[in-house]
Amino acid sequence: MNVLRVDPTRPDPKAVTAAVEVLRGGGLVAFPTETVYGLGAHALDADAVARIYQAKGRPAYNPLIVHLASTRDARRLASAWPAAADRLAERFWPGPLTLVVPRLRVVPDLVSAGLPTVALRVPAHPVARALLEAAGFPIAAPSANRSTQVSPTTAEHVRRSLGDRIDLILDGGHCPVGIESTVLSLAGDVPTLLRPGTISLEEIREVIGDVALPADEPSGTASRPSPGMMDRHYAPRAELRLFAPEERNNWFARAREENEGWPVGVIAFEPVPAGLVSVVGMPDDAREYAARLYAALHELDGRGCRVIYAEAVPKGVEWAGVRDRLRRAATAFD
Ligand code: TXA
Ligand code: MG
């Protein structure tokens, strides 16, 4: 596996060309997007896409997001393009919004896990954009981590999770948004939010009116509208427990006791008792918090924590994406 460092704002065209060559040959390239690192393959090459599933250990029922250079390119893969898609694309693309629309047959079944739809996104990160423009073909890219683990926000996170399972990493530093894109389905009668992100439900409603929330989540391997709804997802190796700020002292007493047996980590807004492995001073701005969350989880995992206590975040709508990721990371152990 190769790592090529690139300037995140003006990536070297030689590195980009090298990455395109790997993709064209059916290989796997991890690259930075504004949300998290993606694990890219030529989206119209079913064999290359199969390698993504293999490298990630991803179940075949979990479809991939296809990345494109422009809205025009996105429309080429859709069998229907509702007016809402145009309005949302105009407002939020390039950016951290994924739209699920009915697909054309050129999209391999494997990309969509057999669903009649495809998830499309035009990313904003200059490295992702340069790669898509130079490639001239769509790039399927889930987050560049082993299935169910925490998504990577640095090239080092990718290397630790996937290492020799992939061909190349374009290292463009850390991802500024920090959690995965908002996923919205436009394939049914009513637009439906499948995965919250930093583009909020309210911002989307301002553009297209009413948006539904998904019905109750399916469990086990039952077919599901969105794999982001898997029970265990975005999870660190450590057991994650959420605590309410008003109960912090009780939890810290428990954490200190456990810490005698194994390293216990804490993610909190305020300082915590000495002796625990901690990431404190988390930002009280939701966007800044999102940008740091995965790095905090990776850091505590890397420091050998067996348990992580994370302070619950505020209830406001702008925290929906972060709340969702924390809840899923914790659910794994409920
Ligand atoms: O920010 C992101 O979205 C990152 C970067 C790399 O773009 N990608 C990402 O991909 O998070 P992944 O594979 O880790 O998550 C895939 C998400 C699922 O949670 C699901 O909501 C959605 O994409 N998805 C993909 N295809 C779908 C489809 N046909 N129908 C419904 N949801 C789909
Ligand atoms: Mg993922």
- pTM (predicted TM-score): 0.93
Q: Is the pLDDT of residue 179 over 80?
A: yes
pLDDT of residue 137 exceeding 80? yes
Element (H, E) at 266: strand 264-267
Laid out side by side, the sheet with 277-279 consists of 239-243, 307-311, 264-267, 277-279
Domains recognised in the chain with CATH numbers: 2-208 (3.90.870.10), 239-333 (3.40.50.11030)
What is the tens place of the pLDDT at every residue in 78-92? 999 999 999 999 999
Distance CA 55, CA 162 (A): 7
| Residue with tokens 């896409």, as numbered in its chain | 49
- The residue contributing the CA closest to ligand 1 atom 6 is 38
Q: Which protein residue's CA is at the shortest distance from atom 22 of ligand 1?
A: 226
pLDDT for the residue 223: 47
- Dihedral sign computed on CA atoms, order 221, 225, 226, 230: negative
Which residues, judged by CB distance below 6 Å to any ligand atom, belong to the binding site of ligand 1? 33, 35-36, 38, 63-65, 96, 98, 100, 112, 115, 117-119, 121, 123, 141-143, 180-181, 183, 185, 194-195, 225-228
Cα torsion at 41, 45, 46, 48 (round to 10°)?
A: -40
pLDDT for res 262: 87
Question: pLDDT-based confidence at 273, cuts 50/70/90?
Answer: confident
Pocket test for ligand 1, best of 98, 145, 224 (most atoms within 8 A of CB): 98
Amino acid occupying residue 331: T
Other residues' Cβ atoms within 10 Å of the Cβ of residue 215: 8
Q: What is the pLDDT of residues 276-305, one digit of tens each?
A: 999 999 999 999 999 999 999 999 999 999
CA of 162 to the centre of ligand 1 (A): 18
